[in-house]
Amino acid sequence: MNTVNLTIDGIKITVPADYTILEAARAANINIPTLCYLKDVNQIGSCRLCLVEIKGARALQAACVSPVGEGMEIRTNTENLRKNRRFALELILSNHNKECTSCVRSGNCELQALCNDLGVKEYRYEGTKTKSVVDDLSPSIVRDNSKCIVCRRCVSTCNNIQKIGAIGVSKRGFKTTIGCIYDKSLAESPCINCGQCILACPVGALHEKNSVDEVWAALNDSSKHVVVQTAPAVRATLGEEFGMKMGVSVTGKMVAALKRLGFAKVFDTDFAADLTIMEEGTELIQRLNNGGVLPMITSCSPGWIKYAETFYPEFIPNLSTCKSPHEMLAALIKSYYAEKTGIDPKNIYTVSIMPCTAKKFESKREELGDNGVQDVDAVLTVRELAMMIKAAGIDFNRLPDDDFDSLFGESTGAGVIFGATGGVMEAALRTVYEIVTGKTLENVEFKAVRGIEGVKEAEVDLNGTKVRVAVAHGTGNASKLLDMIKSGEKNYEFIEIMGCPGGCVTGGGTPILHANVYAYCDPRKERAKALYVEDAGKHKRKSHENEEVKKLYEDYLGEIGGHKAHHLLHTHYQKRSKY
> With contact defined as beta carbons under 8 Å apart, do 353 and 385 qualify?
yes
Give residue 529's pLDDT band: very low, low, confident or very high (50, 70, 90).
very high
> With contact defined as beta carbons under 8 Å apart, do 69 and 17 qualify?
no
Can you tell me whether residue 504 is helix, strand or coil? Answer: helix
For 468, phi then psi, to 5°, come to: -90, 130
Q: Which of 316, 371, 327 is nearest to 352 (CA)?
A: 327
- In one letter, which amino acid is 243? G
Q: Determine whether 283 is an active site residue.
A: yes
Please give the average per-residue pLDDT across 243-268, as a whole number. Answer: 98
% of the chain with per-residue pLDDT over 90: 93
Q: Determine whether 457 is an active site residue.
A: no
Give residue 248's pLDDT band: very low, low, confident or very high (50, 70, 90).
very high
Type and span of the H or E element at 268? strand 265-268
Dist CA 530 CA 520 (whole Å): 18
Within 8 A by CB and 6+ apart from 294, the residues are 287, 288, 318, 492, 493, 494
The single residue of 240, 362, 496, 534 carrying the catalytic annotation is 362
pLDDT tens digits, residue range 448-478?
A: 999 999 999 999 998 888 999 999 999 999 9
CB-count exposure of residue 188 (10 Å: 0-12, 13-18, 19+): middle
Give residue 128's pLDDT band: very low, low, confident or very high (50, 70, 90).
confident
pLDDT tens digits, residue range 260-286?
A: 999 999 999 999 999 999 999 999 999
The single residue of 208, 280, 493, 545 carrying the catalytic annotation is 280
> How much is the pLDDT for 463?
84
* Residue 295: cis peptide before it, omega within 30 degrees of 0: yes
From edge to edge, which strands make up the β-sheet containing 134-135? Answer: 134-135, 141-144, 206-208
Can you tell me whether residue 279 is helix, strand or coil? Answer: helix
% of the chain with per-residue pLDDT over 70: 100
Domains of the chain: 3-77 (3.10.20.740), 93-208 (3.30.70.20), 213-569 (3.40.50.1780)
The single residue of 211, 301, 504, 543 carrying the catalytic annotation is 504
- In one letter, which amino acid is 507? G
What is the reported pTM?
Answer: 0.96
pLDDT at 3 over 90: yes
Q: 455-462 and 378-381 as β-strands: parallel, antiparallel, unpaired?
A: unpaired
- In one letter, which amino acid is 228? V
Q: Determine whether 367 is an active site residue.
A: yes
> With contact defined as beta carbons under 8 Å apart, do 110 and 203 qualify?
yes
| DSSP letters spanning 285-296 | HHHHHHT--SSE
Q: Which of 427, 462, 441, 465 is nearest to 546 (CA)?
A: 427
Q: Determine whether 545 is an active site residue.
A: no
Dist CA 498 CA 507 (whole Å): 10
> With contact defined as beta carbons under 8 Å apart, do 36 and 46 qualify?
yes
Gyration radius of the chain over CA positions: 25
- Sign, CA dihedral 487-489-494-498, equals negative
The single residue of 240, 283, 426, 534 carrying the catalytic annotation is 283
Q: Determine whether 36 is an active site residue.
A: no
Buried/exposed code over 526-555 (b: 16+ C-beta within 10 A; e: otherwise): bbbbbbbebbeebebbbbbbbebbeebbee
pLDDT at 511 over 90: yes
Dist CA 242 CA 225 (whole Å): 29
Dist CA 327 CA 332 (whole Å): 9
Q: What is the 3-state secondary structure (H, E, C) of 90-153?
A: HHHHCCCCCCHHHCCCCCCCHHHHHHHHHCCCCCCCCCCCCCCCEECCCCCEEEECCCCCCCCH
Cα dihedral 527, 533, 534, 538, rounded to 10, equals 160
> With contact defined as beta carbons under 8 Å apart, do 359 and 302 qualify?
yes
Within 8 A by CB and 6+ apart from 400, the residues are 252, 253, 256
| DSSP letters spanning 48-99 | -TTEEEETT-SS-EETTTPBP-TT-EEE---HHHHHHHHHHHHHHHTTS---
Please give the average per-residue pLDDT across 226-236, as a whole number. Answer: 98
Q: Determine whether 122 is an active site residue.
A: no
The single residue of 66, 320, 352, 411 carrying the catalytic annotation is 320
Question: For the chain, what is the mean pLDDT?
Answer: 96
Give residue 509's pLDDT band: very low, low, confident or very high (50, 70, 90).
very high
Q: Determine whether 138 is an active site residue.
A: no
> How much is the pLDDT for 293?
98
Please give the average per-residue pLDDT across 311-338, as a whole number. Answer: 98
Please give the average per-residue pLDDT across 378-396, as a whole number. Answer: 98
Give residue 158's pLDDT band: very low, low, confident or very high (50, 70, 90).
very high
> With contact defined as beta carbons under 8 Å apart, do 249 and 532 qualify?
no
Can you tell me whether residue 277 is helix, strand or coil? Answer: helix
Bridge partner list, 52:
61
Within 8 A by CB and 6+ apart from 46, the residues are 36, 150, 151, 152
pLDDT at 579 over 80: no
Within 8 A by CB and 6+ apart from 78, the residues are 53
pLDDT at 130 over 90: no
Q: Residue 471: how many CA atoms within 13 Å on its side-chain side?
A: 27
Dist CA 158 CA 164 (whole Å): 6
For 135, phi then psi, to 5°, come to: -100, 105
Please give the average per-residue pLDDT across 495-522, as a whole number. Answer: 97
pLDDT at 127 over 80: no
Instruction: Report in angstroms the alpha-carbon separations of 252 from 159, 396, 533.
Output: 39, 11, 15
pLDDT tens digits, residue range 169-203?
A: 998 888 889 999 888 999 999 999 999 999 999 99
The single residue of 359, 360, 456, 490 carrying the catalytic annotation is 359
Please give the average per-residue pLDDT across 100-114, as a whole number. Answer: 96
Please give the average per-residue pLDDT across 475-500, as a whole number. Answer: 98
Q: What's the length of the chain?
A: 579
Q: Determine whether 100 is an active site residue.
A: no
> How much is the pLDDT for 202?
98
The single residue of 191, 300, 356, 500 carrying the catalytic annotation is 300
Bridge partner list, 42:
38
> How much is the pLDDT for 372?
82
Can you tell me whether residue 496 is helix, strand or coil? Answer: strand
> With contact defined as beta carbons under 8 Å apart, do 206 and 383 qualify?
no
pLDDT at 132 over 90: no
pLDDT tens digits, residue range 325-351?
A: 999 999 999 999 999 999 999 999 999
Please give the average per-residue pLDDT across 483-509, as a whole number. Answer: 98
